[in-house]
Amino acid sequence: MNKPRILLFALLLAGIAACVTINIYFPAAAAEKAADQIIRDIQKSAPEPQSFLTLPIRFRLEGWLFGISPAYAQADLNIDSAEIRTLKASMQRRFPKLKQYLDNGWVGYANDGRVAVVRPDQIPLQERAAVEQLVAAENRDRQALYAAIAKANGHPEWTEEIRATFARRWIANAESGWLVQSPDGRWQRQP
Q: What b/e readout covers 127-153, taking b as 16+ CB neighbours within 10 angstroms?
A: eeeebeebbeebbebbeebbbbbbbbb
pLDDT at 159: 97
The number of domains in the chain is: 1
pLDDT in tens, 104-147: 999 999 999 999 999 999 999 999 999 999 999 999 999 999 99
Question: Over 90: is that where the pLDDT of 13 sits?
Answer: no
Confidence of residue 160 (pLDDT cuts 50, 70, 90): very high
pLDDT at 184: 95
pLDDT at 74: 42
Q: What's the pTM value of the predicted model, to 2 decimals?
A: 0.73
From the number of C-beta atoms within 10 Å of its C-beta (0-12, 13-18, 19+), residue 101 rates as: buried
pLDDT at 59: 42
**Distance (Å, whole) CA 31 – CA 37:** 10
**Distance (Å, whole) CA 175 – CA 152:** 29
- For residue 109, the SS3 value is strand
Strand ranges of the sheet holding 179-181, from the earlier edge strand across to the other edge = 115-117, 107-109, 179-181, 187-189
- For residue 27, the SS3 value is coil
**Distance (Å, whole) CA 73 – CA 9:** 28
pLDDT at 72: 43
**Nearest 10 degrees: Cα torsion 119, 123, 129, 130:** -110
**Distance (Å, whole) CA 144 – CA 83:** 9
The residue segments making up the domain with residue 50 are 3-189
pLDDT in tens, 64-103: 444 444 444 445 889 999 999 999 999 999 999 999 999 9
The number of residues in the chain equals 191
Look over the chain and give the mean of its residue pLDDT values, rounded to a whole number: 83
Neighbours of 113 (CB within 10 A): 23
Q: Which residue has the higher pLDDT, 43 or 50?
A: 43
For residue 116, what are the β-bridge partners?
108
Q: Which residue has the higher pLDDT, 47 or 158?
A: 158
Put residue 48 in one of left, alpha, beta given phi > 0 → left and psi -120 to 50 → alpha.
beta
